[in-house]
Amino acid sequence: MADVYVVGHKAPDTDSVCSAIAYAKFKREVEGVNAEAARADEINPETEYVLNYFKVNVPPLLKDAKGKKLILVDHNEFAQAVNGVENAEILEVLDHHKIDFKYPEPILFHAEPVGSTATLVAKKYFEKGIKVPYEVAGILLAAILSDTVVFKSATCTPVDREVALKLAEMVKVDPERFGIEIKKAKASLRGKTASEILMADFKDYEFKGVKVGVGQVEVFDLQEALERKKEILEEMERKRSEGKYGLILMMLTDIIKEGTELLAVGERIDVVEKAFGKRVKDGSVYLEGVMSRKKEVIPPLEKAFG
Ligand code: MG
Ligand code: MG
Ligand code: MG
């Protein structure tokens, strides 16, 4: 049994899972900590593709973190963390999101405004001058490509690109081509229920006491995705009334056109219109150039809530 679990957020994405695996290994092999990676939920098809590709095991599910020692990666808000986080001991945070974290003890908190947590994990290897193991380089590269949408997202920094190119050289893949391959594993909505589409990458927030949920899915063809719009809106409405949300948003992000159709349900549509300066028509609004939830949707939304 591990002393420490390294775990990412709920509804885990590739960055959350791969950073946890790589950082747990770093902690074990470089720092001598008895750490093990865990996941807060089921992994998505993109992550499954990546782990398969580099022959890396899926980390075990941490159902309840009560009484456990944790290192949080790729998130710091308790609303997004593994079940039982309130009764866990947090030793460390490694993240690239806005900080919404309070803890009664002094801990190591490392956050940088880069495109992925994987970038920070890779940098830790580089700083120590340690060779990154092949499969670790592979999954970290995949996580950077995933989180930065193959370097297209507004969250992508020159550091992410530099680190990714270094890792790509180690694993001998063309990053752009590999990135598209990864994205294709997840981008099709075919065969998925509206609930699966909505919940695949869904995050909870609280703004001025209002519960807000924001989902995102990346697609290669927005027109095709919009054929499911009515169904997804109905699912959002169902979730809103069940979960007492003031607002539920769903980003259908076209990674080729580089823009997002933002679907919105709830009592606070006014906030969405204020945040983006556009009218919501038939339950949605198109946001040209918007691809990042955390950088282009959450900040204006939070501001609009005042
Ligand atoms: Mg993430
Ligand atoms: Mg991330
Ligand atoms: Mg992400």
C-alpha of residue 240 to centroid of ligand 1, in Å: 23
pLDDT at 217 > cutoff 80: yes
Task: Measure 65 CA to ligand 1 centroid, in angstroms.
Answer: 19
Relative to the alpha carbon of 77, which ligand is closest?
A: 1
Q: How far is the centre of ligand 2, averaged over its atoms, from the C-alpha of 12 (Å)? A: 9
- Distance, CA 16 to ligand 3 centroid (Å)? 8
Ligand 2 geometric centre to CA of 118 (Å): 7
The pLDDT, as a whole number, for residue 1 is: 79
> Which ligand is located closest to the Cα atom of residue 96?
2
Find the 79 Cα to ligand 1 centroid distance in Å: 13
Give the residue extent of every domain in the chain. Answer: 4-184, 194-304
- The superfamily CATH assigns to domain 4-184 is inorganic pyrophosphatase (n-terminal core) (3.90.1640.10)
**Residue in 53, 59, 94 with CA at minimum distance from that of residue 73:** 94
Q: Which ligand sits nearest to residue 39's alpha carbon?
A: 1
Centre of ligand 3 from the C-alpha of residue 173, in Å: 22
Domain 194-304 has CATH 3.10.310.20: yes
Dihedral of the CA atoms 138, 27, 63, 134 (nearest 10)? 20
Taking the centre of ligand 3 as the mean of its atom positions, its distance from the CA of residue 15, in whole angstroms, is 6
Nearest ligand to the CA of 149 is 3
Give residue 253's pLDDT band: very low, low, confident or very high (50, 70, 90): very high
Q: What is the pLDDT of residue 122?
A: 98
Beta strands in 67-187 (DSSP E): 69-73, 89-95, 108-111
Structure tokens at 224: 């095709």
pTM reported for the whole predicted model:
0.84
Residue with the two structure tokens 């918007």: 290
State residue 26's pLDDT score. 98
Confidence class for position 94, pLDDT limits 50, 70, 90: very high
Ligand 3 center from residue 32 Cα (angstroms): 29
Rounded to the nearest integer, the mean pLDDT of the chain is 96
pLDDT at 55: 98
pLDDT in tens, 162-199: 999 999 999 999 999 999 999 887 777 888 999 999 99
- Ligand closest to the CA atom of residue 81: 1
CA separation for the pair 303, 290 (Å, rounded): 17
- Distance between CA atoms of 41 and 20, rounded to whole angstroms? 13
pLDDT in tens, 99-137: 999 999 999 999 999 999 999 999 999 999 999 999 999
CA of 74 to the centre of ligand 3 (A): 8
Q: How far, in Å, is the centroid of ligand 1 from the Cα of 59?
A: 16
- Using pLDDT thresholds of 50, 70 and 90, give the confidence band for residue 18: very high
Strands 108-111 and 35-38: unpaired
pLDDT of 269 above 90:
yes
Tell me the C-alpha to C-alpha distance, in Å, between residue 226 and each of 107, 190, 210, 253: 45, 12, 28, 11
Could you read off the pLDDT of 156-165 as tens digits, one per residue?
999 999 999 9
Averaged pLDDT, 245-273: 96
Q: How far is the CA of 116 from the centre of ligand 3 (A)?
A: 7
Q: What are the structure tokens assigned to 251, written together? A: 């980003």
Which ligand neighbours the alpha carbon of 217 most closely? 3
